[in-house]
Structure 1
Amino acid sequence: MTTIDLGPAPAAPTEPWAGVPRRVGLTLPELTHACETIGAPLPFEVATHLDDGLDARLGQTRSAADAEALDRAVAGFGEGSTSLRRRDLLDAGGTLDSGIAGALGLLATPEVVIDLDVVVDGLRGRAWHRQKGEAAASLATVDGLVFELSWYPSAAWSTELGRTATVPGETARLTSAVPEQLKVPFATADAVFEALRTGRGDLVPVLTEGDVVVSRALEALHTESHGRLRAIVATTADPENPLIGTVSWTLVNDGWRSMRTVSLDGELTLLITSVEPSELAADLAPVLAEVAR
């Protein structure tokens, strides 16, 4: 298994990073207060509902109802500082647990950034992974209300990335018509997906020039889709000119397929490859190497 690592740390990691990964669950109020305590920003924007009069004119919109439900849920957690103290994660003097403080500090000042957005059968999860030297940390959530904060040595990062791509156990594994390996000209694949998206499946044989294998594979990739994974990769070596790369996976009946666009013999080509969650780090490594150059 390939471990993503951009080199030795500028200094030895402190004690909280040693050993196996540590994890703690935090509610949104707890996470927000913890970040405020050490002066670190959240790695995401908290959705807020601003009444601009639209609801009054058109009635309550779905987004407004969702925002109100979120507000009620957050209010139900109570004050973040109170629950952090009750859990012995914040002392009477306002000092945050050292492990949590270190993890949140790394999330705010990383060398390598990976943002993951995963959808499986309509259920969406997001994870923010950050690495610096010999230390890495991540923050993940499904509902935006309860988060898992983890911190660990960089050597364990590849395993932690794989956790984000792990499909729920209750998700059925069926036979798939999508090959484990397939190369298709990108222009052909793009045209076929657009035809299928707009209900013009009759154009697929024409677009694939009668290639039955490619036609069936691309149609199956479209109809079998149970979810997707998107990864945005960046480094902070040059904040003024950040370099960004992406990785895309699609979940079909029997598991994940990596969707990578490469240049082969001067032609832009879509490579479709069967992958396991444990291979996410290996799939990200070439993209990291490219943005880190």
Structure 2
Amino acid sequence: MGKWTETDIPGQHGRVAVVTGANTGIGFETAKALATRGASVVLACRNPDKARAAAERIGGTTEVVRLDLASLDSVREAAEEIRDRHRRVDLLVNNAGVTGLSGRTEDGFEIQFGVNHLGHFALTGRLLDLLLATPGSRVVTVSSIGHRFGRIDPADPQSGGGAYARSKLANLLFTQALHRRLSGTDTISVAAHPGGASTEVFRYSSPFFRVPNLVIARLFGRTPAMGALPTLRAATDPGVKGGDYFGPAGLFEIGGFPDLVTASSRAHDVQLQQRLWAVSEELTNVAYPKPARHS
């Protein structure tokens, strides 16, 4: 098989896609590619003005919903707005993320864990019935190479060092746990990571962390458009299966075109997945509907 590129995206006409953090970087490129192929794309972003400007640049059928993943009230309101506007959701791309920030969310969560994991956990749960009612729907959660350095204590998943890596490991634990819950349905849960990409996710990081990442991204030609390809493949390739994880196929998964990659052994720890799921439901007060299996 040749290199998978944006030209391999099949037509998306009639599909509704929700992309978080879609006003810049990888999220913008993901939304743009989907809209170009005919999808109706909801840009779910914290700053509506920036999102509207992005929607104008993207063109096609695009709309904006305000979503602040650092606020569970905002997550609830965004989900309600999406539900009011649409009777189906074919694709949910949990893309937005922060790194280098310290402090707490509106609900008192460590901010990187709260935004990168808990906010998306709550949003997915609140939209899951629409996804389940849409044949062939997908949840794509964007993780990072950095998940390999993550450690999670299920008794206190917000504590310890390496907050960003911990949140990105949580993304993969969530992906796999959701994959099992969706077994026997027409909805799948998959994940992707961009490799090294020059995006605004590092804007709050210290120069010690930000500069090497940007240098690596440029050396490997990882523009936001290239960084979006693993997400786009996870979202649109007809051959994708539940639980799949896509990233760049090059050296150390930093550069190259998207292909199946392997997550760390911790990401496949079923007991850790289950314990994190239970804690996430408790912290967000979002209980997932029980999927109806096909006979």
TM-score bracket, shorter-length normalisation:
under 0.3
TM-score (norm. length: structure 2): 0.27
Query: Based on CA coordinates, which of the two structures has the bigger radius of gyration?
Result: 1
The structure whose RCO (Cα within 8 Å, separation 6+) is larger is: 1
- Considering fraction of residues, name the structure with more strand: 1
TM-score (norm. length: structure 1): 0.27
